[in-house]
Amino acid sequence: MSNDRKTHDPNAPASPARRKLLLGAGAGAIAAAGGMVPHNAVALSNDSVTNAPESDRTQERQPFYGIHQPGIVTPRPAAGMVASFDILSRDRAELEQLLRTLTERIAFLMQGGSAPELDPKFPPADSGILGPDIFPDNLTVTAALGASVFDDRFGLKPMKPQHLTRMEGFPNDALEKELCHGDLLIQFCSNTPDTNIHALRDIVKNTPGQLMLRWKQEGSVPVQPPAKAKESARNFLGFRDGSANPDASDDALMNRVVWVQPESDEPDWAAHGSYQVVRIIRNFVERWDRTPLQEQEAIIGRRKNSGAPFGGRTEADVPDYTADSEGKVTPLDSHIRLANPRDASAAQHLILRRPFNYSNGISKSGQLEMGLLFIAFQADLEKGFITVQKRLDGEPLEEYIKPIGGGFFFALPGVRDEKDFLGRTLLEASGPQNARG
Ligand SMILES: C=CC1=C(C)c2cc3[nH]c(cc4nc(cc5[nH]c(cc1n2)c(C)c5CCC(=O)O)C(CCC(=O)O)=C4C)c(C)c3C=C
Ligand SMILES: [Fe+2]
């Protein structure tokens, strides 16, 4: 292909020469139209169709420093995204540099501020998609490591969290390998998808040659008008999702359910971290929408409108399975009863769910590609997600869902202060002499 033809490729970036030509043509066209364009023809009126929608929440800010990472027990905002990476660092020293850069970028992005102005001969410091003043917009960024990091590359093998494994398929799974696993998972949560994408692009730009994107999935939570009583958001099957989630504002409960505790059976470095499960679960919504309401409710085990359990009035009501051992009220194979039979050992198997809905266009056969970006945190992966998922294997809901991706990760302990960095306790754990490669 000649250079000439290349410049005519509509998808190719314009060369400096072509840009000059285009700018020249524009100026000529304006001149031909009679000189200056009348001011009122280009001025933005207050209600111009292309004005930016307004938000009074752009200055909302979550704390970054602390014993735990943000984005786990933090209330879930409207937009979420997970991005999984392969780490390209060649040794421990480069891995440490990557983790330090990541820490510094996350601290900045969650705080907000102005991007530095650089010499225009260089690429700009920031993508600019939020404008020159980067606002926090309630952003949290949470970093987690996959089992693959604990191989021979960085000498971390002996440091692997007890239960961290590569996620193998469960019986109803049809895992697509390009949507699974990864060395590093970064979860972004904020008020808007743009803020999440901005943060992702910032991290990618600032870690050249160190990270390679493997897969990503965006998701959302439907907003609702402010209500006196808080209600759980609906998933894409139209049911309230989260009603029986453990209370994330209860610190004692979170220490039991979510956070790895010091002096547990986990390596010391992992204290205050958490196992993170991500599952991309496709919903067959066309089939679901043609299923009778009573069948939908029996499959889930709750009322669709109110979210209440059968026999209850509100979604906060607790079903009584002891008085319903035959499943006449709540079917024994309903989703909620299998997920949590509320028996003597139930407290050991609690998980903290933080799901988002996703919508990815359409399949080759013209079906909506949408579903649940299931995210769950727990202190013990085996007692938590794995036990609950095994109970759900074979449930009637499987006719309407298909897990296609995700992975198991370990969310690192929090960054305590400006001197600390993500993964410090892990790198220090095998001795300072090894921390440099
Ligand atoms: C392995 C864990 C779970 C997966 C995977 C999962 C997928 C999934 N769930 C819904 C819809 C609902 N789930 C609800 C409750 C619920 N789900 C799980 C676990 C998994 N769900 C648990 C532990 C619970 C709580 C059970 C309880 O304690 O009573 C509900 C009811 C409302 C609520 O409590 O959140 C809905 C609705 C879908 C659609 C889905 C996969 C696509
Ligand atoms: Fe569920």
Q: Give per-residue pLDDT as tens, 221-258.
A: 999 888 767 899 999 999 999 999 999 999 999 999 99
Least reliable range by pLDDT among 7-11, 200-204, 367-371: 7-11
Please report whether residue 351 resides in a domain. yes
Q: Is 296 in the pocket of ligand 1 (CB under 6 A)?
A: no
> What is the pTM for the complete model shown?
0.91
Please report whether residue 174 resides in a domain. yes
Least reliable range by pLDDT among 38-42, 104-108, 201-205, 218-222: 38-42
Query: Is it the case that residue 19 has pLDDT exceeding 50?
Result: no
Mean pLDDT over each residue of the chain, to the nearest integer:
91
Please report whether residue 43 resides in a domain. no
Tokens of 392: 């759900």
- Give the mean model confidence (pLDDT) for residues 167-184: 98
Domain range enclosing 85: 79-224+231-429
- Give the mean model confidence (pLDDT) for residues 393-412: 98
Q: Which of 336, 338, 350 to mutate to test the pocket of ligand 1 (most atoms within 8 A of CB)?
A: 336
Q: Is 72 in the pocket of ligand 1 (CB under 6 A)?
A: no
CA-nearest residue, atom 30 of ligand 1: 241
Please report whether residue 29 resides in a domain. no
Please report whether residue 179 resides in a domain. yes
Kindly list the distances between the CA atom of residue 83 and the CA atoms of 49, 127, 196, 215, 406, in Å, as whole numbers in the listed order.
33, 18, 10, 6, 10
Share of the chain above pLDDT 70, in %: 88
Share of the chain above pLDDT 90, in %: 85
For residues 138 and 9, the model is more confident at 138
pLDDT of residue 315: 96
Q: Is 330 in the pocket of ligand 1 (CB under 6 A)?
A: no
Model confidence at 95, pLDDT cuts 50, 70, 90, reads very high
pLDDT of residue 47: 79
Query: Is it the case that residue 11 has pLDDT exceeding 80?
Result: no
Please report whether residue 265 resides in a domain. yes
Ligand 2 centroid distance, CA of 335 (Å): 7
For 346-387, the pLDDT digits (tens) are 999 999 999 999 999 999 999 999 999 999 999 999 999 999
Query: How many domains is the chain built from?
Result: 1
Please report whether residue 139 resides in a domain. yes
Please report whether residue 7 resides in a domain. no
2 is in an annotated binding site: no
